[in-house]
Chain A
Amino acid sequence: MISAGNITVTRSGRKLLDDVGIDLHPGCFTVVIGPNGAGKSTLMKVLSGEMAPDEGSVSYFGTAAHLHPPAELARRRAVLPQAVQLSFPFTALEIVRMGAVAQGALQPTEQARKALTRVGLRGFEARPYPSLSGGEQQRVQFARALAQVPAAVVDGIPRALFLDEPTASLDLGHQISVLEIARDFAAAGGIVLAILHDLNLAAEFADHLVVLDQGRVVDEGASMETVNDRTIGSVYGIAGAVGRLPAAHIPFVLPQSRHR
């Protein structure tokens, strides 16, 4: 289990995170939602060990995160950042290979090819990363994270996948397939934490939903309990939008309707 307790982060006199506690359990897909500036990315930085909180602590299976050297943390968790731009023309395969090397793979090139196939980018291996579209770049980065934690559990210790807006520049089909891969990772016993802006996808995929607003956890639990008019209304300022059909003249597309 990865857990954070009493996390407070203050920057320029503003509390980005205010006494936040969160537990990430193996086998559980945790999704963080919240408006812009709620502290979602800051929370992910703290949980991944990238940022040290001003107060509180993060532990990986009982050991404080900052006691793990970076190389050891890298074998335990992979992070998908928001858009990454490069000024050197690495190929897609070379980018993904870096993740496999970080994991300590014996055959990093083979592992990288597998990860690219998993995200549906087979045949893109030799493409220079800067020439790919935004969505393709994002999927290459996702493949890099998968190559870094190829198995959800190793020697009885679960691995973790941190995804910062993994669906941001993807079309609807790829949004769903990326989240399905993440859900499979959790189902296999891994730890998954994702920041999502799309409340429909969050409601469908989250085993555990955390609502963040102004640096505080305002609600958490199963999506049936957290996605309701009261919470969504108070956090996003949009009332009466949960579970209601829009007016007849506006078409709508709900990804979760594909399950009916």
Chain B
Amino acid sequence: MRALTLPWRADKAGGDRSLQGIVALVALVLLVVVASLVSLSSGPTGVGLPELWAYATGNGDSLAAQDRVVLEAVRLPRTALGLLVGAGLAVSGAMMQGLFRNPLADPGIVGVTSGAALAAVVAIVLGPTVLLPLTLLFGNQFLPLMAFCGALVNTWVLYLIATQDGRTSTTTLILSGIAIGALSAALMGMLIFMADDRQLRDITFWSLGSLGGATYGRVLSILPFVAVVIAIIPFVARGLDALVLGDAAAFHMGIPVQRLKKIVIIAVAAACGSTVAVAGSIGFVGIVVPHLLRLVMGPSHRFLLLGSALGGGALLLIADSVARTVAAPAELPIGVITALFGAPVFLFLLLGKGGIRMRDMP
């Protein structure tokens, strides 16, 4: 296969890509380290790698107080948030593709992100009035929880419509995703009509997506969601592999199919919803990262899911660094960068490059 052009090719190892997967995971860890350094050292102020090194080795006294504030209050939370958001987006994409047995499934494309964004807007507009008791009850977690519920409802509805008798039709999946996304957008339009000026600004932020305004509070509100999703990876990886052969074959191989699907749907909604809550809708990470990784390490979820978490974090940090520097001191919305990169990859996928052919899909 053209896609496998690495020195440790599958055909040399007799079809076993385990080593390939492990090597790729190690490389991804290094990539995350590099991307974090890039993210911590880039920006309009003069804090670069030397200052970062001085700070990390304990010679922080030599730094100007202003630089310390930039690092501690701005860049560290922003880098941590970027890693978590990128990991959440990419893992939810990879899990969704496994659930639907379809490399084109992506929370952004099939309307799950819109559901989360709609719920976030509901929380912003109705939170201070109609939903005040809930706002007071959940505090800072109210927005992430609402986004999670919005993503969950849309994933579930999508699954019920697009998968019948254990088979998912690509056409039904994409078309019903578009309809669900359109419905969410329409409801969002009604809420925007009701919103006041301050709420409008918040909503604009959600629709574009950004890591700007990252705080430790936001890092803490997304952390439990992403941590839980990453923690369940070892328990769903084998099941998702078996599910690629179909519901029946997965059951024959001892997978409790219905339970697996419920867990994966909830995980997708948790990862997608929480990222939308803290960073708005950032598209295409969920489709680009798993796809590129399949070319490198093969499609087995044993390595793909963890690899997506690492690769998604790294990709988002790099995209964010670009967003901060190309138009400095102004900042491009990060969703623009990921779409500029991701949409062509998506089209490339539809062309049938990279070992995936539309006609092989159910």
Partner-B contacts on A (CB < 8 A): 45, 48-50, 69-75, 77-79, 81, 84-95, 97-99, 101-102, 109, 113, 124-128, 130-131, 148
The residues of B with any CB-CB pair to A shorter than 8 Å are 1, 3, 9-18, 101-103, 238, 241-242, 244-246, 248-249, 251-257, 294, 298-300, 355-357, 360-362
Q: A93 contacts B15, CB within 8 Å?
A: yes
* Beta-carbon contact of B355 and A126 below 8 Å: no
**Residue pair B15, A94 in contact (C-beta under 8 Å):** yes
Asked whether A101 lies within 8 Å of B238 as measured between CB atoms, the reply is yes
With a cutoff of 8 Å between Cβ atoms, the chain B residues found around residue A85 in the complex are 360, 362
Q: Which of B16, B238, B251, B355 contacts A128 (CB 8 A)?
A: B355
Q: How far is the CA of A99 from the CA of B249 in the complex (A)?
A: 10
Residue on B nearest A122 in the bound complex, by CB = B14
Question: Do A126 and B15 have beta carbons less than 8 Å apart?
Answer: yes
Known A85-B362, A91-B298, A113-B14; contact A73-B254, beta-carbon cutoff 8 A: yes
Chain A residues within 8 Å of B362, by CB: 85, 87
Q: Which residue of A lies closest to B300 (CB)?
A: A94
Which of chain B's residues have a CB closer than 8 A to the CB of A109? 16, 18
Taking CB atoms, residues of chain A closer than 8 Å to B249 are 79, 81, 84
Give the distance in Å from the alpha carbon of A69 to the alpha carbon of B16 in the complex: 30
User: What is the distance, in angstroms, from B168's C-beta to the closest C-beta of chain A?
Assistant: 10
Nearest-neighbor residue (CB-CB) of A131 within chain B: B1
15 of the cross-chain contacts (CB-CB < 8 Å) are A70-B251, A81-B246, A84-B245, A86-B360, A87-B101, A88-B299, A91-B17, A94-B15, A98-B238, A99-B253, A109-B18, A125-B14, A128-B1, A131-B1, A148-B253
- Cα A39 to Cα B285 in complex, Å, equals 46
- Contacts A50-B248, A84-B249, A86-B244: A91 and B15 contacting too (C-beta < 8 A)? yes
Which chain A residues border B13 with CB–CB below 8 Å?
Answer: 126
| Minimum C-beta distance from B165 to chain A (A) | 11
Decide: B355 and A89 in contact? CB cutoff 8 A. Answer: yes
* Nearest A residue to B101, CB-CB: A87
Q: Nearest CB to that of A82 among chain B residues?
A: B248
Query: Among the interface residues A79, A91, A99, A127, which one has the most CB atoms of the partner chain B within 10 A?
Result: A91
Q: A74-B253, A128-B355 are in contact. Are A93 and B361 (CB under 8 A)?
A: no
Q: Which of A71, A84, A90, A95 is most buried by chain B, counting CB atoms within 10 A of its CB? A: A90
A84 to B248 CA separation, bound complex (whole angstroms): 10
Given A89-B1, A131-B1, answer yes or no on A94-B17 (Cβ-Cβ < 8 Å). yes
In the complex the two chains form, is A127's CB within 8 Å of B15's CB?
Answer: yes
Closest residue to B304 on the A side, CB-wise?
A88
CB closest chain-B residue, reference A79: B252
A71 contacts across to B, CB distance below 8 A = 254, 256
Beyond A74-B254, A88-B299, A90-B300, whether A126 also contacts B11 by CB under 8 A is yes
Q: Is the CB of A90 within 8 A of B254?
A: no
Task: Please tell me if the beta carbons of A89 and B299 are within 8 angstroms of each other in the complex.
Answer: yes
Q: Indicate if the CB atoms of A90 and B298 lie closer than 8 Å.
A: yes
Find the residue from B15, B244, B294 having the highest chain A CB count within 10 A.
Answer: B15
- Chain A residues within 8 Å of B244, by CB: 86-88, 90
Q: Which of B17, B102, B360 counts the most A-chain CB atoms under 10 A from its CB?
A: B360
A48, A50, A92, A98, most chain B CB atoms within 10 A: A98
Contact, CB under 8 Å: A98 / B1: no
CA distance A89 to B360 in the complex (A): 10
Say yes or no: B254 contacts A87, CB within 8 Å.
Answer: no
For B252, what are the chain A residues with a Cβ–Cβ distance below 8 Å? 48, 50, 74, 77-79, 81, 102, 148
The CA-CA distance from A50 to B257 in the complex, in Å, is 11
| A86 x B254 contact (CB < 8 A) | no
User: Measured between alpha carbons, how far is A123 from B15 in the docked complex, in Å?
Assistant: 9
Taking CB as reference atom, which chain A residue is nearest B238? A101
B242 nearest in chain A by CB position: A98
Flag if B103 contacts A88 (CB, 8 Å).
yes
